[in-house]
Each structure stands twice: as C-alpha cells, then as structure tokens.
A and B are shown apart, each in its own frame.
Chain A
C-alpha cells in the first residue's frame, strides 16, 4: 500500500472554516519549502485556526507575535540565524490586513534593509478574522461589515492598494502575484523566491467563502474567475528581468465574477449601480492593458 510522497506540513485538524482559501494557500506554500523552514505569521485567520494551544497544526517551527510586526519578527529570526551560522528557509505568511495596513511600516523596513525573507501575503481582501471589515486590499465596491451598501453608499469607495507595485518600488529582489486556483504557479513562485537572496514579496489571492459570500465548494472557482476577468493580474518580476505575466486567452466579463458573491450582489439590485459595474470592468480592462494579460 504505497502512499505517494506528497509533503504536507499543515496537519489536519486545524480549525479553518470548510472551504478556506487561506488553508489551501498554507499547504501550497509549505510544500516547495520543505521541513527546513521557519514561518512567522501576523495575527489573523491563519494564526487563529492553526495555533490553538496544544493543538498546533504546524509541522514546521512557527511564530506569531502581534498583528503589525511579522516582518520585523522575521528580521530578528534572520539576524539570529546569521549570528548562529544556521540556515533555514524563512517566510512570513500574513494576511492582507497585517500586510497592506497595520504591518505596512515594518514590511517597508524589511524591504529597505534587504533582509533575506520571503514575505507572503495571503490576500482574502478584508479583515476576515474579526468579522469581514474592509482593509486596504478590499476591492472597490465590495460590501464589508464596515462598508455596507445603502442609499448613500455602494460599498467600499476606495480602490485596492497596489501592494506589489509598492514592493517593486522598494527594489525587492522578487515580486509576484499568484492565486490558490493555480497551485503549480503558486508553488513554483514560492520555490523561486526562496532560492533568491534578499527580500521577496508574493501576494496570493485567496478567496474566502464566509467573507465574500459564496458556497465553500466554489473557493477555487472564484479564484480562477478573479484571474480570468483580469481583476487579479498574475505576474512575477525578478529584479533586473522583464515582468512575466500570465496571459488569459478568453477573458471573462467582470459580472461573471461579481454575480457569484454576496459582497457584490447589491450592484445588481439597483439600476444606478451599473456605472459602478462599468468602473470595475474598467479596472479589469486597465489591468489587461497595463500588464499585457
């Protein structure tokens, strides 16, 4: 009875919601890294569902400290490893809240210092752990518990913060976006980042069935649609080399993506929201043009 060797470093029994995109991301991130890895995470869903005292799901050394300091904690780990003359793959796995917003200063410091860390943001586009509040990553027009729709609002008024561009502006060694819907792409990029010395940034699009409002079985499908509509461009940019972009042959209209999620359903109830849908389509079209998708 041979069991095919597929390395799994996230033990079952963790407490993620059924259909959790972030849990899929964790498994895919850890596989190419292997056991000689140290992971640091910010406060968030991943921290909560993997780390109950005495029932940790981590088969690699893992540290959570606070919400806003995972990049700085990792810097400390790296400094200590260097001081000890030891080596380990060092990754941060933090959510979009801990990356785009509250942990932004520490992350900027990590980039600027050229620390040898692969910083991976699992991007589920809101503060899911606290009950789906908007973050700097929440897409335009999405409803969250702090950006509800109503006669005076159509959800989040701002656009999603362009974190990969900010990472590139820091001259990071490697910047990539990927999605759990493309596991080979994700694992290849994590492996590649890990082989490059210096600061790396990978943003993993991870649909959240609870926060976005779709059936748990559709997590991967939503991830795919985000990419196929060009709302989420998939690319990688290694320093000194041209950007490589995932091409989409048959681009889908944004409505295919929006209609599947409760966070956008208000846009289809009121006629005057057509302009907002057009604006979202424009974001996708601009992405397609800007990145050459």
Chain B
C-alpha cells in the first residue's frame, strides 16, 4: 500500500522529470557522437564546464538563455578538441575522452576559484522559474529547459531518420567507406556530430546550475555523465529509448529518495542510493547481448585505408 501511495504522489513525478532532464540532454549528446562512430568519455567534464560557464554568464548579468547558449558553445569547443584528437588524428578515444574530462573539470574548478577566491557559500543567481502558467499538473512545475530537453527527442529522431544528413551520420558509424563512396566527407561529418553532441552535453550541465539549482558547486555533476554513457547502451542508440531510459533511471532515483524518507530505518540509506546504479548494471546485462553497437564505434577512419 505504501508503495502505491508513493506512485500516486505528484511530487514524485515532478522530481522524475527534473532528474531526467540533464540525462536526456546528455544521453542525446552521447547518441549523436556514438552514432557517428565516436565514443566521448569527455561528457562528465563537459557537463562540469557547461554548468560553470552557463552559470557564470548569468551571474555576470547575462540572460538565462544566453547562459544556455554559452554552455552549449563551451561544450562545442571541448567537443571540437575531442574531435581534433580522435577524428583528425586517430588517437585512443578512451584516453582522449578521459583526458578531456580531467581537463574540463579541473579548468572549471580552477576558474571558479580564481573568480571567487574567498566565498563561504556559493554565489546565487535567479534560476529558470517554473512554467506556472501552464495548466497541466506536474508539467507546470518544470522549467523551460525541461520542455526543451523533451522537445529535443523528436527533433533528433527526425534529424537522424528523416533527413539525408541523418542517414549519412548513421552510416558514418556503421560503414564510413560507403559514406565516402557517396562523396561525403566522413571526417567532417564525424567532427560535426561530436561538436553538436558535446554542445548538448554542455547544456545538460547548464541545467544543473540554471534550473535544478541556482549556484555552482564542486562535484555537482557527480557521475551523471557516466550514467548517460550507460543509458545509451540500454537505449540501443535510439532517441526514443534514450528518453525512456533517462526517465526510468530518474524514476528509480526519485523513488529511492522518497523511500529513504518514508521507508524509515528498515534499510540503511546507502542501499537506496545504490539502487539506481545496481539496476543500471542489471539493465545493461539484460540488453547487452542484443545490443547492436554502431559497427564502427571507436574505429578511426583514415581515408583510403580499410
């Protein structure tokens, strides 16, 4: 009974959408990169950098949407660096990605400390307000960024499956030689996909500082980027399933928070916190055998070589 009451709780579903938002942005970003054949482990750091620059823009007096734009540009710039390393030069995608994460994270923290040397509590901004004028319950407690995230899902689906560019992009991750044979530059296509995907990752980070919270603090991304890397396998690289996966993960995360409060002391709180991670692994085990990885994921493309 207790559990049913939990499901009927409107606040739970409000929290689910809120928690899912950065995961939707992030997973779609991963999807764009990986569909074109590039693993981007830079996501964790790109989210930190996006969270920081987006927040800093608004703190310096910029409009909230300008903050989102700057976060996207930050992500794009880091994506360009990643693409330069692993698409232009065929360097290890694992290592370059982890390097980008370390670089972006440490540079953001460094910049934050240089800009705000002696602050006890993190400086605050006026974050995105909920869309209270919408008359749909649950949705009217979300911000415009959440709506944007969920609007990106059909948009990306349309791009990937209904446009020639999308076809070329998917093919770049499956059979780059075939794309090249059509007279399309695979290297450029992949670089473009990584830049666009990384921009989405930057926006995912900005959601944390501009909507979910109203300040920047250390460790705020806290593994969300890695979750997106897991979700994309679960989603078999499809936008709709990516959204579903993000919602599912967010549901377990929101539910464990509430169970912690209502479930009392029956179980230690760490068990609840572990739940989303354990379930992610279980989900991966269930789908992994059927998972159809993009054929050329992590394979550098060098023109004229097979």
Q: Are A and B physically bound partners?
A: no
